[in-house]
Amino acid sequence: MGNLFYWLILAAVLAAAAIWFPRYGLLAQWQAHKQTEQRQQVEDALKLIFNLQQEGQPPDKDRLAADLKLDMPKVQKLVNSLETQQLVVDQQGRLNLTVEGQRWALQVIRAHRLWERYLADEARMPLEKIHTAAHHQEHRMTIEEVNELDAALGHPARDPHGDPIPNAFGVLRDVTDSSPLKILEPGQRGQIVHLEDEPPVIYAQLLAEGLYVGQTIIVQENNPSRVVMSDEENIYTLAPSIAENVYVQLESPKEQPDPAVVQLGSLQNEEEAEIVRIDDRCQGFTRRRFLDLGLTPGTAIYPELENAFKDPRAYRVRGTLIALRHDQAALIWVRPALEHSPSN
pLDDT band at 343 (very low <50, low <70, confident <90, very high): very low
pLDDT, tens digit (0-9, with 9 covering 90-100), for 170-187: 887 655 678 889 888 999
Same domain, 248 and 266: no
Establish if 246 belongs to a structural domain.
yes
Q: At what angle do helices 2-20 and 26-54 cross, to 10 degrees?
A: 20
The upper half-sphere exposure of residue 309, i.e. CA atoms within 13 Å in the direction of its Cβ, equals 5
Instruction: Name the band, by pLDDT with cuts 50, 70 and 90, for residue 288.
Output: confident
Read off the pLDDT of residues 11-43 as tens digits, 9 standing for 90 and up: 666 655 555 556 655 555 545 545 667 788 889
Nearest to 161 by CA among 130, 138, 136: 130
Q: Is residue 75 part of a domain?
A: yes
Whether 155 is covered by a domain: the verdict is no
309 contact partners, CB below 8 Å, separation of at least 6: none
Residue 166 in any domain: the answer is no
Q: Is residue 20 in some structural domain?
A: no
Whether the pLDDT of residue 341 is over 50: the answer is no
pLDDT over 50 (residue 51): yes
CATH number, domain with residue 65: 1.10.10.10
Together in a domain, 229 and 293:
no
Name 233's Cβ contacts closer than 8 Å, sequence gap at least 6: none
Confirm whether 110 is domain-assigned.
Answer: no
pTM, two decimal places: 0.71
Poorest-pLDDT segment among 21-30, 90-99, 147-156, 193-202: 21-30
Are 287 and 240 part of one and the same domain? no
pLDDT at residue number 344: 45
**How many structural domains comprise the chain?**
3
Question: Would 13 be classed as within a structural domain?
Answer: no
Say if residue 2's pLDDT is above 80: no
Structural domain that includes position 281: 262-336
pLDDT-based confidence at residue 279 (cuts at 50, 70, 90):
confident
Of 255, 271, 287, at which residue does a domain stop?
255
Question: In this structure, which amino acid lies at residue 279?
Answer: D
**Position 283 in a domain:** yes
Residues, the chain: 344
User: For residue 109, what pLDDT is reported?
Assistant: 94
55 and 93 share a domain? yes
Q: What is the pLDDT of residue 282?
A: 80
Helices 26-54/72-84 angle, 10° precision: 90
Predicted pLDDT at 256: 58
The pLDDT tens digits for 218-262 are 999 999 999 999 988 899 999 999 999 999 988 765 555 677 889
Question: In sequence order, which residues have a C-beta less than 8 Å from that of residue 247 and are 6 or more positions away?
Answer: 162, 178, 179, 180, 181, 192, 193, 194, 195, 196
> Could you give the CA distance from residue 272 to residue 233 in angstroms, rounded to a whole number?
24
pLDDT value, residue 116: 93
pLDDT at 124: 82
- Same domain? For 240 and 275 the reply is no
CATH number, position 327: 2.30.30.90
Whole-number pLDDT of residue 33: 47
Tell me: the pLDDT tens digits for 95-115?
999 999 999 999 999 999 999
